[in-house]
Amino acid sequence: MAKNEPIKQHYIPRSYLKNFGVEAKKGNYLVDAYRLEDDLLLEKISTKSICFKKNLYTIPNAEVDRKYDLEHHYAEHVDSEFPKIYKLLVDESVKVLTPEQKRQVLYVCLSLYFRTPRFLNHQNAFTDQILDRMLLYADENGDVKFTFEEERHEFNIKDIDKVRHEFKERNRVKFLVQHLEKWKEFVDFKYDCTINVHRINDKNAPLITCDNPVSIRGIKSTRFEGLFNPDSVITLPLDTQYYLEIFPNNIADGQTRINRMVHDRDYVFTTNGIVQSNAEKLIIGKPGTIEKHFEIQSSYEESENGEQFVEKAKFKLEEFQKFHQLCEKTGLTSKETIGQLKKMLNHQHFKDEGHLIKMKRLLIATGHWK
């Protein structure tokens, strides 16, 4: 018997979106969504109604019982797996993953980058530009002839809608093949990288997400610098309180532990700003949190708050750099490194830094903290 035929295919799984929603009837979850194109806030809408595209993953020219294989794969191996991955990541008692769990975390979470139609949409927009330009060169009979990507094309302008559809279908088929190849290759590439999970300690500063929630950017430049750039950091909001971070390859340690950290409102300001800049069409959040996001952004635009934020961020960065330099030069248990750690923990900007507190406990347990 053939499987069901899912035409409405979500590129951001509802099992992820529910973490930013409130439960309604029969397991349906409601979120707020801010539409960027017309600055419209859609309140308490179902996760069923966003982040989907009809037949995005449907395999063309396949037998009836195989054409939805890719959509079924996502449903069985990603969408249904995300709740398990999420539970692992936000459970603060989990300190170390098994190698299999780490690979599954990367496989599932990175799928949210590769499966979105962002690149397909860009390719289709480029295709439209090419075809629109070629129409200008139609001869007196309306015939158009041109070469694109080493292939010769000929059509009459009356058939332009059909030609557009054919070009975009070829783009979609190419997307289906290439995104799977890149996804697997990238999971292998990032396997040795450090995994961090950040928790926000301010209940009045919730995290938001969007229709393109995985951000890949240079750790210094904060810009996208290529998929396989060894300096890139990857981030993904997990819910309104937790945030996943995958560190760059150039500082990979091959370990399977989870580094857990605690952050405040300042971190939410920068993090939500990244999410908003990464969105294609929608910013998404638990009801009421998108307005809160804009309030926080506005508050930091005020000169006094903005200056305080910059000063705090600069101070913390400089102190962290001193600490890491001492660790590399003299070792974690040296008098100089422990002195810097004590200095940081005695400062109000570091009092809730969980990973520093854990280092202190480790040093106490090993007899190095005097």
- Cα→Cα distances 307→162, 295, 310, Å: 56, 17, 5
- Taking each helix axis as running N to C, give the angle between helix 303-330 and helix 265-278, from 0 to 180 degrees, rounded to the nearest 10: 100
pLDDT tens sequence across 198-243 = 999 999 999 999 999 999 998 877 788 888 988 899 999 999 999 9
Nearest 5°: CA angle at 229, between 223 and 230? 115
Phi, psi for 195 (deg, rounded to 5)? -105, 125
Give the integer Cα–Cα distance in Å for 21 and 209.
11
pLDDT of 253? 77
Q: Which residues of 31-67 are buried (b: 16+ CB within 10 A; e: fewer)?
A: bbbbeeeeeeeeeebebeebbbbebbbbeeeeeeeeb
Helix (H, G, I), strand (E, B) or coil at 98: coil
pLDDT of 281? 95
* Identity at 305, one-letter amino acid code: N
Q: Is the dihedral of CA 197, 199, 205, 207 positive or negative?
A: positive
pLDDT tens sequence across 22-78 = 999 888 999 999 999 999 999 999 999 999 999 999 988 777 678 888 888 898 988
pLDDT of 16? 97
Residues in the chain: 370
Parts of the chain with a pLDDT under 70? 1-4, 64, 302-306, 309-310
- Cα→Cα distances 9→115, 142, 186, 249, 295, Å: 11, 38, 23, 33, 34
Residue with token string 């289906």: 176
pTM of the shown model: 0.80
